[in-house]
Amino acid sequence: MLIRELLHSACLRLGKAGIEDPDRDVALLLGHCLEKSRTALYLMGDESISKELEKHFLSLLQRREQREPLAYILGVQEFWSLDFLVSPDVLIPRPETELLVERAIKVWRESSQPPGRILDLCCGSGVIAIVLAKELGRKVLAIDLSMKAIMSARENARRHGVSHLVDFLQSDLLSALAPVPCFSLVVSNPPYVSQQELADGLQPEVDRYEPHLALNGGDKGLEIIKRIDEELRQRMLPGADLFMEIGADQGGDILSLFADEKKFTKRFTQLIIEKDYAEHDRIFHAKLEIE
């Protein structure tokens, strides 16, 4: 079969399966098989491919037809213009998280930070920790409950040359750490999808394939975030910054949660909710008060 014929028939199949951008996905899958760019594929349209390569491509196409995420099929996802290894053991990095990292780096560079460590809490594939280490040249501690996620993140740290800057710890949030102030910057993309949203069903790619452990935030999606609030205050240095990715409808609840000082001797100040590219609540920024 000619490449242009293969592209056309494959696009029709993915379109019928409900894939949002079938042209893009087909080009990436076939380009992966042939080790060619999207532009090169179209220039090669009148060429044919071997039966073996066609069979391999069609097997990948079938997986995408069944709504398996493209990143899991290819085994990589671009983040911060870098390729990160991903598998069903970790969430697929998304553009909203790039915005979170970008904001944290900007504030770090523009302000006087206390001399503590940097923490990536709920690190998943390690994209946050690795980008922070590369951009800031500082040691980062990356924590996750899942050992499979830790193993994936370690491999990504090796892949991007920052193994010497990123330490990994398997822990249920901060339970493995003594309640001693040591962090000057905390960046977290915790589970924040509500149990109701999970019960109602998410996009098939997410619902069927991505790890629910990294998605399920419990009641209103706030249970893990509440625990972070309770465990983090004693472990942050005065003046330290917290950046957290949140759900699109959680801004008000999170401001109320972190503004509640009744149970705590340390309080957060400068509580800010920032929008993402779609004008949804997405980034929570708070600073621990300076004593």
Q: Which residues pair with 244 in a beta bridge?
A: 188, 284
189 is in an annotated binding site: yes
190 is in an annotated binding site: yes
204 is in an annotated binding site: no
260 is in an annotated binding site: no
DSSP letter string over the chain?
-BHHHHHHHHHHHHHHTT-S-HHHHHHHHHHHHHT--HHHHHHTTT-B--HHHHHHHHHHHHHHHTT--HHHHHTEEEETTEEEE--TTSPPP-HHHHHHHHHHHHHHHHS---S-EEEEES-TTSHHHHHHHHHH---EEEEES-HHHHHHHHHHHHHTT-TTTEEEEE-STTTTS-S---EEEEEE----B-HHHHHH---HHHHHHS-GGGTB--GGG-HHHHHHHHHHGGGEEEEEEEEEE--TT-HHHHHHHHH--TT-SS-EEEEEEEE-TTS-EEEEEEEEPP-
156 is in an annotated binding site: no
Other Cβ atoms within 10 Å of 228 Cβ, number? 21
Binding residues for substrate: 189-192
Binding residues: 144, 189-192
Binding residues for S-adenosyl-L-methionine: 144, 189
